């Protein structure tokens, strides 16, 4: 599993790097970003995986979120992969901003022509961690996950589908109930087919209803002025209701005046990293 370094920049006392590799799961070249805090020079560090939203690459988070200062303070490695395969030559892959390129939705597609390449769930939960643990000074059993929008959906399902694998999970404006919103219905129909029962395996609200693993403390920040909240794309109330019923701890913060952008993420990212560090450094 050879890595090619694309870039390396000194940041907050550590190094912000980007790598490229040939993905076995996705059958294409993939890029991911890795922030190595100063502590990584001498010690092993826990890893926080960040999943970005629709249209994003690995660049959005590392250039806009301002995560490096808090990651350096708490001694966390942050890994931020791209959001989908790219350049696979699939007909229609570049036609929509909310499906195909930049919109992998962190599922394992079962439908042609997507099923060969669009396996972001397995990439994020299996292939990428193995790659990170083989090449960087990590604690393999001390990982957590976070994300924004489509990536918030990804973070939640990864944690709920793998009880005990992730020490903590958090999300910014996640798509909480994709089976019930236009974005999710479009993506799931295309990647998973018309049988809606197969969609349930990738819907955080459905997964929370049957969760029976160790306690998972969830932190969610949502901007009150988020245009996609009012457009019924995110549906956090559905998830919160199920978690309340199942006694899954959720801290849900509705932040007045904030929208869906990286200005919102930048404003609260240090709280999220502190949330993860509490569990990762315990």
Show which residues are catalytic.
Answer: 149, 226, 260
Q: What are phi and psi of 203, to 5 degrees?
A: -120, 120
Strands (E), the chain: 4-11, 14-23, 28-36, 45-51, 77-81, 138-148, 169-172, 218-223, 250-255
Inter-CA distances, 197 with 50, 52, 186, 206, Å: 28, 26, 15, 11
Name the DSSP class of 119.
B
Measured at the CA of 147, the angle between CA 46 and CA 12, to 5 degrees, comes to: 55
Looking at the DSSP bridge assignments, the partners of residue 33 are 18, 80
d(CA 240, CA 244) in angstroms, rounded, equals 6
Tokens in use for 232? 């019924």
Measured at the CA of 56, the angle between CA 188 and CA 32, to 5 degrees, comes to: 100
Measured at the CA of 28, the angle between CA 152 and CA 98, to 5 degrees, comes to: 40
Q: What are phi and psi of 200, to 5 degrees?
A: -60, -25
CB 121 within 8 Å of CB 150: no
CB 233 within 8 Å of CB 265: no
CB 120 within 8 Å of CB 86: no
């Amino acid at each position: 599993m050879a890595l090619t370094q694309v870039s390396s920049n000194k940041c907050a006392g550590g190094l912000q790097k980007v790598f490229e590799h040939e993905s076995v799961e996705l059958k294409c070249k993939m890029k991911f970003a890795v922030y190595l805090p100063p502590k990584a020079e001498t010690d092993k560090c826990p890893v926080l995986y960040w999943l970005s939203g629709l249209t994003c690459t690995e660049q959005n988070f590392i250039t806009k979120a301002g995560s490096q200062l808090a990651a350096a303070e708490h001694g966390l490695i942050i890994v931020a992969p791209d959001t989908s395969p790219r350049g696979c030559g699939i007909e229609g892959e570049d036609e929509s901003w909310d499906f195909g390129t930049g919109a992998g939705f962190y599922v394992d597609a079962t439908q042609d022509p997507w099923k060969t390449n669009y396996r972001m769930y397995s990439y994020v939960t299996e292939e990428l961690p193995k790659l990170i643990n083989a090449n960087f000074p990590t604690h393999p059993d001390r990982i957590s996950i976070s994300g924004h929008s489509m990536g918030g959906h990804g973070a939640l399902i990864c944690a709920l589908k793998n009880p005990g694998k992730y020490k903590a999970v958090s999300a910014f404006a996640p798509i909480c109930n994709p089976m019930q919103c236009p974005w999710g219905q479009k993506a799931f129909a295309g990647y998973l087919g018309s049988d809606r029962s197969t969609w349930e395996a990738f819907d955080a609200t459905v997964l929370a209803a049957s969760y029976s693993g160790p306690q998972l403390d969830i932190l969610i920040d949502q901007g009150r002025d988020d245009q996609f909240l009012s457009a019924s794309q995110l549906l956090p109330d559905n998830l919160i209701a199920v978690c309340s019923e199942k006694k899954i701890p959720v801290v849900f913060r509705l932040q007045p005046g904030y929208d869906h952008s990286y200005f919102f993420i930048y404003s609260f990212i240090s709280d999220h990293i502190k949330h993860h560090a509490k569990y990762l450094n315990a």
